[in-house]
Amino acid sequence: EKLKNKNVLLLEEITQRKAAEAKLKETLRQLQTAQKQIIAKEKLAYLGTLTSGIAHELCNPLNFIQNFAQLSTDLVDELMEELTLESNKMEPEKVEEFQEIINDIKQNSDSIYQHGKRAEKIIKGMVRHAQIDQNSWQYSDIHNMLNESLQLACKKLWEKENVPMKIKTNYDESISKIKLSFSDMFQAFMNIIDNSCYALKTQLELQEAANQDFNPILSIQTYNLGGKVEIHIYDNGIGINSTIKDKIFNPFFTTKSPGEGVGLGLSLVHQIIVGQHHGSIKVETQAGKYAEFIIEIPMTNSTNFLPEED
């Protein structure tokens, strides 16, 4: 009887130890997750500070460029007026030649000024995003965030790679502002769109090498589903192979060439949308044809999932 009792006690102790070990493992997992989130937040905070500093330093020379471009335009206008007044004293061929040169200078000055204004807009956008508290949740316009993400993520393809990309947007205007972590969600949108741009660029290179016509398309649509917002981000790029589809949200998994990515982009996207905002993200794709990311974000974030305050 004593032996039986000891066996029962031993079994209970083993059960309790296993339960304690399981609880310890779960606590360790939660701590590791929290550590990763803290590291990511610190990196974003540092990046925000660095961005603000760089943007501030760029603003001064940019202002000079814009001011001198505007001044050059004004001087060219005055020069054209003087040429018109003195044209009767000059040969017609010379007058026409000078007018062409002056017009070229004016067009160049106008182009410098316009590109300067665009650069100013981009820098102001960078500063605005950098100044936002990384831990703050605020009411935000999803459509404005998507538009700004498009501008920044696709800029390289438009200006440096000269990819003739067509962008389509179809937004559900019944969607009101949603309370969310602005900087984190903006980063998630940027990462997804950046992946789409990479897929389109790669597809274009493949089709050109095969002497095939290709029209790159990036499409974004939103839907109001009542208690949540659904966002579709589609591209007709290289798509995702079915053998790796389930791995794309894993940390450090990437299909990009060395130096082009470390595989944290979509992992961070999943963490922000699913872990932080209690939403969902999935991808529908066909290799060589298209990829479409489908995101759902609860509108109840404003009350149910706000971070606890100390």
pLDDT digits (tens, 9 = 90+) for 100-111: 898 888 888 888
**Is position 157 within any domain?**
yes
pLDDT, one tens digit per residue, over 155-181 is 767 766 677 788 999 999 999 899 898
Same domain, 149 and 259: yes
Same domain, 145 and 103: no
How far is residue 210's CA from residue 204's CA, in Å, rounded to a whole number?
10
Angstrom CA distances, 259 to 44, 61, 89, 218, 254, stand at: 21, 31, 63, 24, 11
pLDDT, one tens digit per residue, over 211-230 is 888 899 999 999 999 889 99
Is 125's pLDDT higher than 80?
A: no
- If you search the block for the tokens 């969607």, which residue do you land on? 175
Is 261's pLDDT higher than 70?
A: no
| pLDDT for the residue 2 | 64
- Count how many domains the chain has: 2
Is 258's pLDDT higher than 60?
A: no
pLDDT, one tens digit per residue, over 18-28 is 888 888 887 87
**Is position 309 within any domain?**
no
**Is position 193 within any domain?**
yes
| pLDDT for the residue 119 | 82
**Is position 264 within any domain?**
yes
Same domain, 175 and 218: yes
Query: Binning pLDDT at 50, 70 and 90, where does residue 255 land?
Result: low
Same domain, 210 and 276: yes
Query: Binning pLDDT at 50, 70 and 90, where does residue 129 land?
Result: low
Same domain, 114 and 156: no
How far is residue 113's CA from residue 121's CA, in Å, rounded to a whole number?
12
Is 303's pLDDT higher than 50?
A: no
- Residue range 7-36: mean pLDDT, rounded: 78
**Is position 265 within any domain?**
yes
Q: Tell me the pTM.
A: 0.56
- Cα-trace Rg, the chain: 28
| Domain with 22 in it | 1-131
| pLDDT for the residue 237 | 92
Same domain, 176 and 66: no
Same domain, 290 and 173: yes
Same domain, 203 and 111: no
**Is position 310 within any domain?**
no
- Residue range 262-286: mean pLDDT, rounded: 81
Query: Binning pLDDT at 50, 70 and 90, where does residue 234 land?
Result: very high
| pLDDT for the residue 57 | 80
Is 309's pLDDT higher than 90?
A: no
Same domain, 151 and 58: no
**Is position 87 within any domain?**
yes
- Residue range 122-126: mean pLDDT, rounded: 71
Same domain, 126 and 142: no
Angle, helices 2-86/182-209, rounded to nearest 10 degrees? 70
Angstrom CA distances, 279 to 86, 133, 185, 300, 301, stand at: 71, 22, 11, 10, 9
Same domain, 68 and 154: no
Query: Binning pLDDT at 50, 70 and 90, where does residue 43 land?
Result: low
Question: For 42-46, 63-67, 204-208, which range has the lowest pLDDT when averaged over its residues?
Answer: 42-46
